[in-house]
Structure formats: structure tokens, C-alpha cells
Homo-oligomer: A and B are copies of this chain.
């Protein structure tokens, strides 16, 4: 396989909310054929120039090479079942199935239960806004962003095959090629653990900040004095609460322990504040992260490559991993240590590692 789309099929997208809509726009802007379906925003999506069909069965008629499940988490099971049914009615169609859900283990389970497990590669674009729906979507939201792409490790003894390397490559080429993003290749478990820390728990703390102000006697006064620290600290708490709740409850196994850690730390800090005890441990503990964020010039290293004009020294190394042997497992090992896939050349996958 030498580039994205060797089979000539379009990308199919099921669900045109904020993320699905943005993905459809970004792929179309990159010149890729896109066909999508979403009963609730078909009209606006057509008005925006997208090719929209009535349902998943209609999507199947276009025989997309990749089908992206961009439905809400709670609808994944139903959508996967619809796709399995459509697939049964289109002999010879061999799509790769991926998704954009913010939690990966439950989506893999839903897709596997529908009989699509061997076609599946998980994906999660690390981008969003506090708004939702197709009306808030934009191509920019999906251009040049970090992705997590997840695969299933093989287990010969248990008779479980690992993720198909060709399907993994197809999804990685889509993400790093036309979409200009980077991809961390991970197991579902690593993804769900890391994303609990940098996305789900931040959503919970933003919601907590808003909640405590909502119940305060000085609420209106406090909101009148709110400036940058409150605005930034609560931004994602303004998101549709059902969406945040779904994300958090689907990833409860990783989120709950971090919330317990936070509760313990805050209780300890409160005790120390009450008794005038030293609190340096709390305020100094983030120093390694402060230093790393300072070094990379931000929390994102997206798209920073030597010689592309985005900075001479970006604090990273590029190398190539050949597409031979068990290269998916090699990528998972490297990405677990912070590397990301930035593209492909004739020798294999280009991997960028923090220095």
C-alpha cells in the first residue's frame, strides 16, 4: 500500500455532530471523497456541500474504504449493529472500521460484539470545543491535531489475532496524510488511562469549579469578579453535561482513581492550610511538567518537524520504523514512551520522539 485510498473508495462517516461534521469537512477540504449519514443534520450538511445519504444501508452502496463511527458513545452499539447488517448485504465490500470516541475499550467491545472486531482500529482526535452539533463543526478543528490510534495486541495462546497491520496503516495514513495530524499508537488501556488524566479529569474539575460557584451564597458577586483563571478553568465545564457525563462514566475505571487521588490531595492541602503547615510539596510537584511544557513551547507538539519552518529546535528526534515484523507492537512500545507517528516515507513509518 503506497498511499491513502488505493482502493479508490470514499471515506464513510456515520454521525455529523461536532466531531463527525468537522472530520467530513476536513477530509472534503483535503480533496478526499466523503459520504456521510446523520438523520438529524442531513439538511445542514448538504447545504454545507457534503454528500449525505439517508442511512447506513445507503452509505454501504458507496462501498467506503474506511467507515468512521462518529456517533455519541451511547449510540455506538446500535450504529455498529446497523453497519454489520449493511455489510452482510454487500458481498465483497471490505471496509476498515474506525471511530472518534473519547474512550476506547468500550467502543472496541461494542464493535466486536457486532462482529466487526477484526476490521476495527480505534481512533480519538484530541480536539474539540465546549459547543456541540454540526452547526459548530469546522474543518480547522480536525486539521493538524494530535490523534490517538488504538490497536489490539495479539495473543496466540488465547487465539486472539492482533489488529490487522494493513488496516492500522490505512487509518494512520488518513490521520497523518490528508488531515496533517500526528498519531500516538496505543492499546485501548494506555489510551483510556492517559486520556483520563489529560481530558476526562480536566472536564470533571471544570464542572466541579462551576458547581461550587453555582451553590455559593456569593455566586453573583463572584461571577462578576471572574477573570482569566476562572474562564479557562471552567471552559470545558460549559459543554453539554450529558456528553461529559457519558465520557466520564464510560471511562470510570480510569477516572475514578484519579478523582480519589485529587480528593486526598485537596483534603491534605486544606488540613495544611488550616494548621499553617508547609505546602511546598503541592505547589512544586508539577515542576517536571512545567519544565517540559516550557521546553516544547506549549502542550502540543503537533506538526512540528525539522525544516518545515515551525522552529529549528523543537526538542525532538525523527526516525523511521520499517513496516516489517510486528511493527504495530513496536509502535505501541515507542508511543507509550511519548513518541508519535508523523507520517510515512518509502522506508516505513516516521516516528517523532521527545528528546
A206 within 8 A of B: yes
Comparing A61-69, A85-93, A114-122, A252-260, the segment that makes contact with chain B is A252-260
A40 within 8 A of B: no
Are B226 and A198 touching (Cβ within 8 A)? yes
Give the Cβ gap from A210 to chain B, nearest Cβ, in Å: 3
A213-B198, A215-B285, A225-B194 known; A262-B266 Cβ under 8 A: yes
A256 contact from B242, B270, B338, Cβ within 8 A: B270
A249 contact from B202, B221, B273, Cβ within 8 A: B273
A354 contact from B201, B224, B301, B335, Cβ within 8 A: B224
A221 contact from B213, B221, B338, Cβ within 8 A: B338
User: Which residues on the B side are within 8 Å of A135 (C-beta)?
Assistant: none
User: Which residues on the B side are within 8 Å of A298 (C-beta)?
Assistant: 231
Q: With A and B bound together, what is the CA distance between A181 and B57 in angstroms?
A: 59
Q: With A and B bound together, what is the CA distance between A257 and B204 in angstroms?
A: 19
Comparing A48-56, A70-78, A125-133, A307-315, the segment that makes contact with chain B is A125-133
Comparing A28-36, A276-284, A319-327, the segment that makes contact with chain B is A276-284
Main secondary structure of the interface of A (DSSP, over half): helix
Which chain A residues numbered 322 to 344 have a C-beta less than 8 Å away from chain B? 335-340
* Contact digits for A265-292, partner B, Cβ 8 Å, 1 yes 0 no: 1110110011010011011111111101
A2 within 8 A of B: no
Q: With A and B bound together, what is the CA distance between A294 and B210 in angstroms?
A: 13
A193 within 8 A of B: yes
Are B214 and A287 touching (Cβ within 8 A)? yes
The chain B residue sitting closest to A217, CB to CB, is B193
User: Which residues on the B side are within 8 Å of A252 (C-beta)?
Assistant: 273-274, 276
Q: With A and B bound together, what is the CA distance between A256 and B273 in angstroms?
A: 6
User: Which residues on the B side are within 8 Å of A284 (C-beta)?
Assistant: 241
User: Which residues on the B side are within 8 Å of A229 (C-beta)?
Assistant: 128, 198-199, 202-203, 206, 235-236
4 nearest A-B pairs in the assembled complex, by CB-CB distance: A220-B338, A210-B286, A241-B283, A252-B273
